[in-house]
Amino acid sequence: MVENGSQMDESRIVLERPVPWQRAIKRLLDMVGSAALLVLLSPVMILIALAVRITSPGPILYHWRVVGLNGRPFTGYKFRSMVRDADTLKEQLLLENEMRGPVFKIRADPRVTGLGRWLRRYSLDELPQLWSVLKGDMSLVGPRPVFPKEYQQFEPWQRRKLTVVPGLTCTWQVNGRNGVADFDDWVRMDLAYIDNWSIWLDLIILLKTVRAVLKGTGR
């Protein structure tokens, strides 16, 4: 348990990993689940792609360049929910960051398009990440990946959140996503997930995610 993250010794961040058969089952569930969802949701994804193309100039997909397991960089994809030059405009909004810590998050982000707000509310912008799950860069459940610049600012104890494959959904997203304002609290949720991981826990989080998506609690 992390009681005082800022004082945790880096030499203590490696914990016992799940046995190989547990990892194999998790990977199998990721492959089967992501492949099935890509097929079942393909009509919805086509409609979203057309809507993004029609409603704002720019590409349909946002190339999400982040780091995952042990800080390894990879490129994921989301439906573009912001204006085309969003990454450039981010520098002008850093003072409005509502998250304490190295990550950037503001609820009323002016870069988000009208369609993008709706997509984010129901987490539909995340659907292309199923391809990253199928490839193995991500899992259905796990701590969220982060931007490289953010990862470079992590304290040693915070980096343990990416000693597992990052996920499409996580404890943070289903238990306080819009109410957590301190990155340390977010990381503690991720570490609690890592320390208590089981296939059953993944299934519970997935069920909670479905409920959160249907309620439209995302932002």
With respect to residue 21, please indicate whether it lies within any of the assigned structural domains. Answer: no
Q: What is the pTM of this model?
A: 0.85
With respect to residue 124, please indicate whether it lies within any of the assigned structural domains. Answer: yes
With respect to residue 154, please indicate whether it lies within any of the assigned structural domains. Answer: yes
Q: What is the pLDDT of residues 143-162, one digit of tens each?
A: 999 999 999 999 999 999 99
With respect to residue 185, please indicate whether it lies within any of the assigned structural domains. Answer: yes
With respect to residue 26, please indicate whether it lies within any of the assigned structural domains. Answer: no
Is the predicted pLDDT of residue 72 greater than 50, yes or no? yes
Q: What is the pLDDT of residues 8-60, one digit of tens each?
A: 444 344 444 566 888 899 999 999 999 999 999 999 999 999 999 999 999 99
Q: Which domain holds residue 110?
A: 35-215
Total domains, the chain: 1
With respect to residue 165, please indicate whether it lies within any of the assigned structural domains. Answer: yes
With respect to residue 113, please indicate whether it lies within any of the assigned structural domains. Answer: yes
**Distance separating alpha carbons of residues 118 and 127, to the nearest angstrom:** 14
Residue 172: predicted pLDDT? 84
